[in-house]
Amino acid sequence: MSSLRVRFAPSPTGYLHIGGARTALFNWLLARKEQGTFILRIEDTDVARSTQESVDAILQAMEWLGLDYDEGPLYQSQRFDLYRSKVDQLVGEGKAYRCYCTVEELEQKREAALKAGGKPKYDGTCRERRDQPTGLPFVVRFRTPQDGETVFNDRIKGTISFRNDELDDVIIQRTDGTPTYNFVVVIDDADMGITLVIRGDDHLNNTPRQILMYQALGCPVPEFAHVPMILGADKARLSKRHGATSVMAYREMGYLPEAMVNYLVRLGWSHGDQEIFGLRELVEKFSLENVGRSAGVFNPDKLLWLNAHYIKAGDPQRLAALVTEFLLVRGIDPATGPDLVAVVRTLQERSRTLLEMAEAAAFYYASEISYELEAATKFLTADREAPLAALVEKLEKHATLDESAVEAAINEVLAETGLKLGKLGPAIRVALTGGTVSPGIFEMVAVLGPQESSRRLRRALRHLR
């Protein structure tokens, strides 16, 4: 175990989205690689917007991705006493002060400043206020130093510096006594001994004021690593209008977690020319040094390609278990037909998602095949009657046949009738599936079984007469 302590700190105001998942993944990977500690902290200080449903959704998504944590989940809503005492400490030391300005006043000042071409920064009205009005509502503001600059070395972005006079006195405690994000994040990261903060770079601008707070509190300042944003195809921040942004929505669309992990990690991180990475391999190879500094566009096509890859390479047993729920949703009970694992094997190379696989598997379990009109007229023609009948005769003699036996049987028919496979094959395909797209003929007959196959062939024979 190393001294590295990282955390993922989502706020439970919705599902876990793509960007959050990648941040969580980077944290997890580094923790596992360095044998550090990965902490999950729920940032629910905004009681009004936080929900238990969101917490559950985030937990489920992390589990689906395979990201386990060593400590937590810790809830900020259960730590208000700590925050309050820290606020009091800062006020006592003169490092924070009560501000009695009202929301309306502040809003007015902001607009006026903006109109005058100035910065919408807090004007410091209460900064040097000496009196303590009683009965008036107040917030507590952090007294940020107005001289010098704050410099830090971001593990991804490099050296970054801000002039302190650009920063204003941020509110750390609301009128209702609850603390705000920029304060609790500092208290918690300090209290939990976080040594490296990996987060989205939308937090980059918060970092200097947070560093100033660590210093005011007398706490060691952690390192920071700001991960670039994920954008949509139009280069705008990824949002719903770019398609699904919820990690779990991809599970529902038939994606495998390893495909999602692989895609996410390669969006912003690279290891030479390598594209395919398993989780264990990532733990070994991941590093902050190879994380890029610029924002990246989410590319659904590549995710789909990766998913196809993992379906192709996946264990049929496991895929069968996973595809079952997609089948059941479509009203198909795999127990009523051929062995699902065998079915999956015939579909792995031609399915990009579990959803596609379920759709492609439907014909195996159909009690009655309905023919596509065009396919039937083109391939279920009178000249195929004799060879199909001959095939039925051969198939019916067996309870089971493996793929090569099926091939042998069909080849016999071909030899006897002088027909080409190019003529017979499509007819068999339409008879068995109703359409022109399916797995290979031989494997299909083998999986369906000679009895069921001949039953379907007989029906086709009746149809073409």
Partner RNA sequence: GGUCCCUUCGUCUAGCGGUCUAGGACACCGGCCUUUCACGUCGGUAACACGGGUUCGAUUCCCGUAGGGAUCACCA
Choice between 3 and 178, CB closer to RNA: 178
CB 388 within 8 A of CB 426: no
Task: Report the distance separating Cα 288 and Cα 6, nearest Å.
Answer: 13
Amino acid at 117: G
Choice between 235 and 465, CB closer to RNA: 235
Find the shortest distance in angstroms from Cβ 203 to RNA. Answer: 6
Find the shortest distance in angstroms from Cβ 142 to RNA. Answer: 12
Choice between 431 and 441, CB closer to RNA: 441
Q: Which residues are bridge partners to 140 per DSSP?
A: 98, 173
Choice between 95 and 302, CB closer to RNA: 302
Choice between 72 and 120, CB closer to RNA: 120
Q: Which of 240, 312, 378, 397 is catalytic?
A: 240
Q: If you ran DSSP here, which 8-state letter would residue 349 be given?
A: G
Q: Is 240 a residue of the active site?
A: yes
Report how far apart, in Å, the C-alpha atoms of 312 and of each of 40, 306, 349 are. 34, 10, 5
Q: If you ran DSSP here, which 8-state letter would residue 351 be given?
A: -
Mark out the alpha helices in 330-420 (DSSP H runs): 340-347, 354-365, 373-379, 385-395, 403-417
Task: Report the distance separating Cα 244 and Cα 227, nearest Å.
Answer: 21
Strand 223-227 with 230-231, pairing: unpaired
Phi–psi pair at 30, nearest 5 degrees: -65, -40
Q: What is the number of other CB atoms lying within 10 angstroms of the CB of residue 361? A: 25
Catalytic positions, written as ranges: 240
